[in-house]
Copies of this chain bind each other. A is one copy, B any other.
């Protein structure tokens, strides 16, 4: 009985698989050329060096992002991409750049401090100098007692963070067990929340922060919730109220110190030893019109040229490294994938049926703003909770899928299907020729926190690849050490190659990619 059932199942599986291979058999001519240009003649590390070493970091709204945007457009045009242009989104609000920052301990003894301004901190009036103070405050009574005592002081926001030595490797690759867990995971419920504000949940902490802002100390200092040994994780400053990008928002200088230096200061304070710091920040608010831009470039299609397949990655970064793994890696891989496709077309003479459109987003770090702006303009208006409110059918019905890369430098081990089971046999067939490169796992699971979500929310098949973690969360993601040297060449070559193949096969397919059942209803495709 069991045998019989099993045979039937096997038969069904084989039949399904055969029929899919009919539609989705990978094209060996294309893949051979793609592998040649992606693995043997790669330019991905050179692209990344220009993007990060020369044109990094790329904080949204900063002049350096504009320079990087110019370079990317020029490079894409030089390669022969068509319709290279910018598309505005916004208003984002004011941009920011820093042109000088230094912090030193000056008493009781001198030492240079590894520290960084939080983005959108206002410039200081020259070199500030003052004692540090920690607010021992558990309730509003305590705050009253501290009134007037913060002026001229550096306020320490955090207590000591105790460190442990690294008995485990900071960088890792997925094991078979990790991947099997993903492969065997059920379809997800809702997409995970993105939390931009860790202080937000605790109401006294919010009051404490508001109190500090009103008291106008010299600056507010913290040591981040992770990082050590010279690696400092730094994102944006907080305004007293609302968004720091709002030109009217009140912000005071905020900086994150390396934990060892912060702890040292704190331990001296605990001993009753006054500690004096100096700090200087030169910074400008930029971009007065408040509008930002995504970069768009195309490879024209042929018989199905009105339909598109998109590939993209966010081009913006935080400001203390050079935005290498977040997301120079993804942007370089996507540019490289486009280049590989161009070379493959030249070499094979096979032209894509659908138009291939590359997008490099900005404003991702502030909430997927660039990709959401683009999706709103072209495909659908969605609520912040992800419900479709209105659809622009002309374009929404013409896009086959969107491929994204934004989880660091790690090579591709498979794809997050975002609950889209229908696409599973298609991607299974397309991954098959890349098993030797370690990419074989499909998971129904979601992954969150990046731009494919904007597409997914609009009823468009939008995918992020499963990537090896390497040192993304432990060392590079949003840190001062997000630098080119922490990109893994072989991994980026592998990712460019596989994505070029996925995009080109999506462009060549008879049908558009299957959509999720729920979205199909809403999407009226």
* Chain B minimum-CB-distance residue to A468: B165
A31 at the interface (CB under 8 A from B): no
Contact residue range for chain A?
35 or more
The reply to whether B481 and A230 contact each other, CB–CB distance below 8 Å, is yes
Closest chain B CB from A57 CB (angstroms): 8
A145 at the interface (CB under 8 A from B): no
Q: Which residues of B contact A471 (CB under 8 A)?
A: 165-166
The reply to whether A483 and B169 contact each other, CB–CB distance below 8 Å, is no
Complex interface residues of chain A between 104 and 159 (CB less than 8 A to chain B): 104, 108-112, 114, 116
The reply to whether B110 and A100 contact each other, CB–CB distance below 8 Å, is yes
A371 at the interface (CB under 8 A from B): no
Docked pose: A271 CA to B169 CA in angstroms: 34
The reply to whether B230 and A165 contact each other, CB–CB distance below 8 Å, is no
Closest chain B CB from A105 CB (angstroms): 11
* Chain B minimum-CB-distance residue to A265: B53
Q: Which residues of B contact A484 (CB under 8 A)?
A: 260, 263-264, 267
The reply to whether A268 and B171 contact each other, CB–CB distance below 8 Å, is no
Q: Which residues of B contact A470 (CB under 8 A)?
A: 165
A168 at the interface (CB under 8 A from B): yes
Q: Which residues of B contact A49 (CB under 8 A)?
A: 267, 271
Given contacts A168-B169, A471-B165, contact A485 B54 (CB under 8 A): no
Which of A102, A109, A168, A173: most chain B CB closer than 10 A? A109
Docked pose: A36 CA to B280 CA in angstroms: 49
* Chain B minimum-CB-distance residue to A266: B53
Q: Which residues of B contact A108 (CB under 8 A)?
A: 54
Docked pose: A480 CA to B166 CA in angstroms: 17
Docked pose: A229 CA to B474 CA in angstroms: 11
A418 at the interface (CB under 8 A from B): no
The reply to whether A110 and B114 contact each other, CB–CB distance below 8 Å, is no
Closest chain B CB from A179 CB (angstroms): 17
Docked pose: A104 CA to B100 CA in angstroms: 8
Q: Which residues of B contact A264 (CB under 8 A)?
A: 53, 322, 483-485
Q: Which residues of B contact A163 (CB under 8 A)?
A: 485-486
Docked pose: A517 CA to B90 CA in angstroms: 84
The reply to whether B102 and A481 contact each other, CB–CB distance below 8 Å, is no
Copies of this chain present: 2
A2 at the interface (CB under 8 A from B): no
A39 at the interface (CB under 8 A from B): no
* Chain B minimum-CB-distance residue to A97: B110
A101 at the interface (CB under 8 A from B): yes
**0 or 1 for each of A212-239: is its CB under 8 Å from B? (1 = yes):** 0000000000000000111110000000
* Chain B minimum-CB-distance residue to A112: B101
Which of A172, A470, A485: most chain B CB closer than 10 A? A485
A170 at the interface (CB under 8 A from B): yes
Complex interface residues of chain A between 54 and 111 (CB less than 8 A to chain B): 54, 64, 98-102, 104, 108-111
The reply to whether A98 and B110 contact each other, CB–CB distance below 8 Å, is yes
Docked pose: A403 CA to B307 CA in angstroms: 79
Complex interface residues of chain A between 455 and 481 (CB less than 8 A to chain B): 470-471, 475, 480-481
Docked pose: A102 CA to B322 CA in angstroms: 20
The reply to whether A483 and B231 contact each other, CB–CB distance below 8 Å, is no
A259 at the interface (CB under 8 A from B): yes
Q: Which residues of B contact A475 (CB under 8 A)?
A: 166, 229
Give the contacting residue for A485; candidates B99, B172, B260, B322; CB below 8 A.
Answer: B260
A447 at the interface (CB under 8 A from B): no
* Chain B minimum-CB-distance residue to A319: B111
A6 at the interface (CB under 8 A from B): no
A167 at the interface (CB under 8 A from B): yes
Q: Which residues of B contact A64 (CB under 8 A)?
A: 109
Q: Which residues of B contact A114 (CB under 8 A)?
A: 114, 230, 480
A273 at the interface (CB under 8 A from B): yes
Docked pose: A389 CA to B218 CA in angstroms: 63
* Chain B minimum-CB-distance residue to A260: B483
Closest chain B CB from A10 CB (angstroms): 39
A421 at the interface (CB under 8 A from B): no
Given contacts A98-B110, A260-B483, A260-B485, contact A271 B229 (CB under 8 A): no
Closest chain B CB from A282 CB (angstroms): 9
Docked pose: A173 CA to B111 CA in angstroms: 31
Which of A50, A109, A165: most chain B CB closer than 10 A? A165
Docked pose: A258 CA to B480 CA in angstroms: 11
CB-based closest 8 A-B pairs = A230-B230, A165-B171, A260-B483, A163-B485, A166-B170, A229-B481, A230-B231, A53-B267
- What are 20 of the A-B contact pairs (CB < 8 Å)? A50-B271, A53-B267, A54-B108, A64-B109, A100-B110, A100-B112, A114-B480, A162-B485, A165-B486, A166-B166, A167-B172, A169-B169, A229-B475, A230-B230, A230-B258, A260-B481, A260-B485, A260-B486, A264-B485, A267-B484
Query: Contacts A53-B268, A260-B481 given; 8 further ones with Cβ under 8 A?
Result: A49-B271, A102-B102, A166-B169, A166-B170, A166-B475, A170-B170, A230-B481, A263-B483
